[in-house]
Amino acid sequence: MNTPKAIIQKQAIDIHSVIELVEDSLTSANSKRAYHKALNDFLTWYIDQGQPKLTKAVIQRYRTLLIESGQSPATVNLRISAIRKLANEAADNGYLPQTIANSITRVKGIRMEGVRIGNWLNKKQAQELINAPDTQSLKGLRDRAILAVMIGSGLRRSEVTALTFDNIQQRDGRWVIVDLIGKHNRVRTVPIPSWVKVAIDEWAAVAERGSGCIFRRINKGGHISGDKMTPQAIRDVVIQYTSRLGYPVAAHDLRRTFAKLAHKGGAGLDQIQLSLGHASIKTTEKYLGVTQNLTDAPCDRLGLHLE
């Protein structure tokens, strides 16, 4: 005969299995990490509640808790989306009746007003950040190259970790990153400025590296460990130098900095979109917080007149 504790343990194992199914259904590494955390946080709360029957009312109660605890709309919506995915996978694999799953998927998130612009660095701050690492050390050379790549080409953290020497090639007389696999497995080519290539070359020369992943871990003894860096390690590098300079930006804000500086420098939205790997120009516009200029409008640049 099952004791209440044994029943709880069995149910927990079932939910863990469904969480694995959810993660297996995702292709993006970032989505896997985000959903893993969201679902495990929900699981902790669910077990604390005594593991009641999984219903729409239970999920709505959890949603209310998230809101009352001061979580941002984006965070609440992400967690509810993960739970909806959990319900669908549970139903598809026989863990939950389809009717219950359907009711859970109708739990709404929070309406987000406006567009979150985010933070970015101005030109002077970006220059200071690139030059912040001590290039007399192996770690400093590596870190400068990482910051240069992120600001100079707008790569995501996961893209930086996967970057190889084979990706760096010449096209049309300039250096580019070719066959870069980004979000949703979209493949793109990203031009890089000459100073980014110099930063990579100076790191590679001292590190005596010329093949495989460009950026490697450095142990406490100051030696290369041979393992490629993780997205978390890239984040830590960025935080180390932005904190030292007093800049309130995160690693992803360097991608936004690239876009902002390129746009202010006169780069077209379509070209910025291609470099960033956005599927839609509207995503790039929201990303940049582009607003309509009524003083210097496109129609003012046509060069036409009435006779």
Tell me, yes or no, whether 175 and 215 share the same domain.
yes
Which helix (H) or strand (E) covers residue 62, if one does?
Answer: helix 56-68
Is 144 within the bounds of a domain?
yes
Is 229 within the bounds of a domain?
yes
Tell me, yes or no, whether 86 and 176 share the same domain.
no
Q: Supply the pLDDT for residue 14.
A: 62
User: Residues for the chain: how many in total?
Assistant: 307
Question: What's the pTM value of the predicted model, to 2 decimals?
Answer: 0.63
Tell me, yes or no, whether 159 and 95 share the same domain.
no
Q: Residue 171: helix, strand or coil by DSSP?
A: strand
Q: Supply the pLDDT for residue 34.
A: 85
Q: Please write the tens of the pLDDT for every residue from 22-38.
A: 888 877 777 888 888 88
Tell me, yes or no, whether 80 and 181 share the same domain.
no
Tell me, yes or no, whether 163 and 278 share the same domain.
yes
Tell me, yes or no, whether 74 and 210 share the same domain.
no
Q: Residue 50: helix, strand or coil by DSSP?
A: coil
* Separation of alpha carbons 72 and 112, rounded Å: 9
Instruction: Give the domain CATH number at 79.
Output: 1.10.150.130
Is 293 within the bounds of a domain?
no
Q: Please write the tens of the pLDDT for every residue from 168-224.
A: 999 888 899 998 888 878 889 898 999 999 999 999 999 888 788 999 999 888 888
Tell me, yes or no, whether 138 and 95 share the same domain.
no
188: β partners: 180
Q: Supply the pLDDT for residue 7.
A: 31
Q: Residue 164: helix, strand or coil by DSSP?
A: strand
Task: Give how many domains the chain has, as a whole number.
Answer: 2
Instruction: Give the domain CATH number at 137.
Output: 1.10.443.10
Q: Supply the pLDDT for residue 3.
A: 35
Contact present, 50 and 58 (Cβ < 8 Å): no
Domain region containing 168 = 123-288
Q: Supply the pLDDT for residue 290.
A: 67
Tell me, yes or no, whether 213 and 252 share the same domain.
yes
Task: Give the pLDDT band of residue 163 (cuts 50, 70, 90).
Answer: very high
Average pLDDT of the chain is 83
* Separation of alpha carbons 46 and 301, rounded Å: 60
**How deeply is 140 buried, as exposed, middle or buried, from its count of CB atoms within 10 A (0-12, 13-18, 19+)?**
middle
Tell me, yes or no, whether 101 and 129 share the same domain.
no
Q: Please write the tens of the pLDDT for every residue from 232-288.
A: 999 999 999 999 999 888 898 999 999 888 888 888 888 888 888 888 877 787 777
End-to-end CA distance of the chain: 96
Tell me, yes or no, whether 138 and 96 share the same domain.
no
Q: Please write the tens of the pLDDT for every residue from 15-24.
A: 677 778 888 8
Sheet strands (E) in 172-278 = 174-181, 187-191, 216-218, 224-228
Judged by average pLDDT, the poorest of 3-12, 52-61, 77-86, 137-146 is: 3-12
Is 248 within the bounds of a domain?
yes
Tell me, yes or no, whether 138 and 97 share the same domain.
no
